Structure formats: C-alpha cells, structure tokens
Amino acid sequence: MALIVRDRKILLGFRNYTADKWKDVSVWTFPGGRSEKNETIGETLLREVTEEVGMTDLKVEKYLGEKTGVKIPDIVLLFRCHSSQEPKLMEPEKFSEWKWFGVNEIPEKIINPNTLEIVKNQLTYYI
C-alpha cells in the first residue's frame, strides 16, 4: 500500500466495499492493491495509484514494513511515497472521495487499524 505523505498529511480514500468483494462496509483506506502476474511490487504501486487516484508522478521513498491484512491470510506491504499531484476520483464505483489527513485527523473507520502506528510515526517523526 502507498502511504502518500505530503506536508505532514496522509492521503486516504473512502472505499465502499460490497458483500461480493469482501463485506458490505465503507472504510478509509490507502491507495494500493494486489499484484498482477509477473508484476513487481514497485510496478504494482505505480499502477494502483494511477488507477485509483490518477497520480502519475509517484515516488516510492521507503519500505516501512508489513502488517497482516484484513482478509486472512493477506500480508500488506507498506511504502512511504510522495506525489506532487492532487488526487482525482478515478473509480467512483469503489471510492466516494480522497482526502488528506493530519496525524490527529485520521478517521477511526480505517480499514486496517494495525497500520496506524506506522502511519502516525511517518507523519510525526520522518516528514
């Protein structure tokens, strides 16, 4: 997943899942997704960010670690990234909006609470 950070804020999208894809729930999440066959992790990040938010200048800055995903047995790889572009709503059938959040503004309804410590560290200490 791409933790896109700018000006001590992180980009999150409000994703509307359906029961046929996972479960009927709407949560805040990061840009990112599953790799396609023969695709590197870097290629996946660039493709997913372009597909989901229309940012084409993504710079992957640092690998931050991995966390268990919300779908067992998924493992989520986290990368701090940067883009100078503003997000666009590219997939309105999946997302309602994209928004920048500061460390004290991160919504409670985040898809994977296991990632919050890493996110807060990035917004507080490294940027």
Lowest mean pLDDT among 31-45, 50-64, 113-127: 113-127
Structure tokens at 43: 């290629």
pTM: 0.88
**pLDDT at res. 31:** 96
**pLDDT at res. 76:** 87
- CA distances 7 to 59, 81, 82, 103, 112, Å, are 15, 12, 10, 11, 23
- Find the domain containing 87 and state its range: 2-126
pLDDT digits over 36-60, tens only? 999 999 999 999 999 999 999 999 9
DSSP per-residue string spanning 82-111 = E-SSPP----TTTEEEEEEEETTT--S-BS
pLDDT digits over 84-107, tens only? 999 999 999 999 999 999 988 999
Q: What is the CATH number of the domain that holds 59?
A: 3.90.79.10
Q: How far apart are CA 67 and CA 115, in angstroms?
A: 7
Q: How far apart are CA 104 and CA 58, in angstroms?
A: 25
Distance, C-alpha 94 to centroid of its chain = 14
**pLDDT at res. 126:** 54
Residue 127 has pLDDT above 60, yes or no: no
Q: How far apart are CA 3 and CA 35, in angstroms?
A: 17
How many distinct structural domains can be found in the chain? 1
Residue 120 has pLDDT above 70, yes or no: yes
